[in-house]
Amino acid sequence: MVRSRLAQLSRSRLNSRAVLATLVAVIVAAVVGTTVGYAALSKDVTLTLDGKTRQVSAIGDTVADVLESEGIEVTDKDLVAPAVDETVTDGTAIAVQFGRPLELSVDGDTQTYWVNSTDVASALGEIGRRFDGADLSTSRGSSIGRGGLTLEVVTPKVVHLKLGAKDLRKRTVTALTVADVLKSMDFEVDKHDKVTPSLSTEIADGDKVVVKDIRIATKRVAREVVDAPVIEREDDSMFEGEEEVVQSGRDGVRNVTYRLRFVNGELVARKVVKADLRVKAVPTIVKVGTKEEPEPTTSNFAGGSTVWDSLAQCESGGNWAINTGNGYYGGLQFSLSTWRAYGGPGYPHQQSRETQIAIAEKLRAATGGYGSWPGCAAKLGLPT
């Protein structure tokens, strides 16, 4: 009974060893077969991505298979050579230039382009916009990553400039706004200056920029003379045009502070901001006639045989209404001061012969003769 059990165990162990040996043989064969199959399917490929090259071993028959095996996704924005459906063999070279967005802002106008170039200069050449002479926000040699780039471009423009007192001139500037134009000209704008158009305005070729150079200054004057004011008082007893000073004025004195405003170097406004009166001015008071003069008589040759008629004939040709325009009036050629000193009304030439003779009588009586008419008195042999 015991021998029978031992014999059974021995046969069982022999069977297990046979199974194990068979399994090992199958596994070895499978591994060898797989290795041989993999070697037959893989290719050695040169892969260049955005100009960077590496060697890869990949399984697949087409370019698309190789890219997929390398985990590389491409879109219609990318450039792939050979095409994705082309067959690959050992030694095939595959190049991929990935597309990337170039956000281009030219003088404030923005547009997005898809480019495959990896630097700014090549990208601008790719889209056909080189912008020679323009200012770029980054250098032309800067790289463009897969995420893209925002590029600001300011182009050259011809502008007409009138800066302060300087003459109008034409300049070519690379600027976006009026402020940029003035900065490029090294022209500093003061807070009081007036700029047209405003500093933030974008400029275009041919625009005109005008700057009024405004300067505000303060000036202090010590003991400035204040002119005596003139007060006119109407007097209806005097003829129109007649004036008489009844009070002589006197100038005043003050310490004063002015605010001065200059535009393009010229003083255009002056304002008193502070004044300290030291001596008060006394006004000049003038009486101004308002009485309407009678219509002038152009001639009055009323005559007689008196000595006054002879003097009038000598002095004025006997015209008692003459106004010669030289400051002497009437037949006896009175000066206005002499006429009024002896009570003559209005102007001598506007009065009658009799009135003029009456005033002449007063003058002769006061002077003791005819000396007030020396030339004609001598001719007529009259006492002076």
Q: Comparing C-alpha atoms, which of 134, 159, 138, 157 is closest to residue 149? A: 138
Q: Report if residue 9 sits inside a domain.
A: no
Do 263 and 314 lie in a common domain?
no
Do 121 and 74 lie in a common domain?
no
Q: Given this model, what pLDDT does residue 29 score? A: 37
- Between CA 39 and CA 37 the distance in angstroms is 5
Q: Report if residue 7 sits inside a domain.
A: no
Q: Report if residue 300 sits inside a domain.
A: no
Choose one of 154, 172, 187: the last residue of a domain: 154
- The model's pTM is 0.50
Q: Given this model, what pLDDT does residue 241 score? A: 83
Sorted by sequence, the CB contacts under 8 Å of residue 97 that are 6+ apart come out as 50, 51, 78, 79, 116, 117, 118
Q: Which domain holds residue 356?
A: 307-380
Do 317 and 330 lie in a common domain?
yes
Tell me which H or E stretch contains 10.
helix 2-41
Choose one of 197, 212, 227: the last residue of a domain: 212
Choose one of 291, 316, 351: the last residue of a domain: 291
Do 316 and 282 lie in a common domain?
no
Q: Report if residue 63 sits inside a domain.
A: yes
- Between CA 360 and CA 333 the distance in angstroms is 10
Centre a 10 Å sphere on the Cβ of residue 333 and count the other Cβ atoms it contains.
Answer: 23
297 phi-psi bin (left φ>0, alpha ψ -120 to 50, beta other): beta
Do 329 and 372 lie in a common domain?
yes
Q: Given this model, what pLDDT does residue 384 score? A: 84
Sorted by sequence, the CB contacts under 8 Å of residue 311 that are 6+ apart come out as 332, 360, 370, 373, 376, 377, 380, 382
* DSSP labels, 300-333: -----SSHHHHHHHHHHTT-TT-B-SSSEETTTT
* Contact (CB, 8 A) for 333 and 375: no
Do 220 and 269 lie in a common domain?
yes
Q: Given this model, what pLDDT does residue 298 score? A: 67
Q: Given this model, what pLDDT does residue 7 score? A: 37
Q: Report if residue 69 sits inside a domain.
A: yes
Q: Report if residue 296 sits inside a domain.
A: no
Q: Given this model, what pLDDT does residue 41 score? A: 66
Do 77 and 146 lie in a common domain?
no
The one-letter amino acid at 215? R
- pLDDT (tens, 9 = 90+) of the chain, 384 residues, equals 333 333 333 333 333 333 233 333 433 333 333 333 444 468 999 999 999 999 999 888 999 999 999 999 999 999 999 999 999 999 999 999 999 999 999 998 999 999 999 999 999 999 998 898 899 999 999 999 999 999 999 999 999 999 999 999 999 999 999 999 999 999 999 999 999 999 999 999 999 999 999 999 999 999 999 999 999 999 998 888 889 999 999 999 999 999 999 999 999 999 999 999 999 999 999 999 998 876 655 678 888 889 999 999 999 999 999 998 888 999 999 999 999 999 999 999 999 999 999 999 999 999 999 999 999 999 999 998
Q: Report if residue 73 sits inside a domain.
A: yes
- Between CA 277 and CA 256 the distance in angstroms is 8
Q: Comparing C-alpha atoms, which of 167, 179, 168 is closest to residue 203? A: 179
Q: Report if residue 301 sits inside a domain.
A: no
Do 189 and 224 lie in a common domain?
no
